[in-house]
Structure 1
Amino acid sequence: MTYPIRIGVQLQPQHAPDYNQIRDAVRRCEDIGVDVVFNWDHFYPLFGDPDGAHFECWTMLGAWAEQTSRVEIGALVSCNSYRNPELLADMARTVDHISGGRLILGIGSGWKQKDYDEYGYEFGTAGSRLDDLAGALPRIKSRLANLNPAPTRDIPILIGGQGEKKTLRLVAEHGDIWHGFTNAETYPGKAEVLDRHCSDVGRDPAKIERSSGVEGRDRDTIVANAEALTGLGVTLLTVGCDGPDYDLGAAEALVRWRDSR
């Protein structure tokens, strides 16, 4: 399969004490031609003031579903530990309907211990959290298949992570999109491992869309890194954007680059 080059923006829901700042950034993403708008699933900022302003992931996605008309939306990524799998499936189905079929269900095993401790979730170990994710993914799929009304489409499942033994095996088994948190240097080795897992489970690796963040401090570097990643087969390219200002300069550069190809 071949996938179009798509540009994503992760609007990090931190350091924006006025939600209008985030709402405006979502509007601007649609206006400039971004393809996918992500947030993330944390309860506190990941950098800057650790107790700074922050908003919750999935209630925000419901608002984005109403606000937008074209872009796909999702979390990069939801933490499996925070919600019962059946509940998460129902939430995803509901946002899918509100958005008219534009939700990407991003999910990962979780890693930020402060979130767990402050909100009363058991942190466990990296292995136990991955085992929990392995148990949750079939339950999510089963619930999606039995909801009434059904989702408007087969909601694509994006799995985030790069662990070679467990995470990439789960991508091979369940993922429609893989976001490896890799760059052009680290991507090839991880992609090779994913391809081996696909062979083991009898799945065509070409049926898994490849996604990556794009790094760089200036627009030329960002575009150069995007070129390198697409040369390796990555087609969904996402830049992070922090509050409160949500400067979309990098996203604009990538949109222009996409349109000039």
Structure 2
Amino acid sequence: MSKILIALFLGLVQGLTEFLPVSSSGHLVILQGFCGKEWTGNVLFDVSVHLGTTIAVIVYFSRELLGLIKGVMPRSWDRQKANTVFGLILTTAVTGIIGLVFKDRFEAMFSMPALVAVSLMITGLLDFTTELRYRQTGISGHVRVLDAIVIGVFQGIAIIPGISRSGSTIFAGVILGMDALWATQYSFLASIPAILGAALLEYTDMLQVFSLADLAGMLSSFIVGLISLRILVWTLKKHRYFIFAVYCWLVGAAYLVSGVL
């Protein structure tokens, strides 16, 4: 199979799993292992497809992003929107510190499929807890300093492949008392600077190996990502979020057993 087709396929997987709380990085690590050695531990490609889904977030939440930008302008100052922007900055700072301090260790984990399997099962536990604590009447449109810090910590830990970024940050938001849909929106808004920052670091370090396959994966993840965002919101509204927990447990356990056998 050509590199472009593999890249398109992996981008499709990334687009489907980035916004669903099942760990896109975990799936990429597992599938890259089956696709050949050149894909295993390919951090630049991982960042490329994450960049594609980040662009999908920007498009999907474009109205909210424009509202936040307008809300911090002197002529249209909005205290609540300014509070959200401050929270996003704080969340990003916490995530950035964790990412920079543990960068090398996190990157090494992308070549450890067994760890990914265990992490997927942990993600399942987070998803299941989110379903149990689900609420539609919690805090909405507001983020406290504690919320921003805790979500930033969970987002930083989610760099570990197999730990879902969306699953862990939505879990953190719901546990902290946020409305589930607001926690979801904040989670994805917070992902934009975090993933763009990671992409900038990797492209600066590895610009010479940027390839057409990376671009193909990015495009694929962008298109499919827009679709999966709608799926996530639907599962939250219909109380079907627990499905992701079961899925993570099954995939994690199956891959762990297959590795042992």
Is the structural similarity TM-score above 0.5? Answer: no
TM-score by length of 1: 0.25
Quick check: which one's strand share is greater?
1
For normalisation by structure 2, the TM-score amounts to 0.25
More contact order relative to length (CA 8 Å, sep ≥ 6):
2
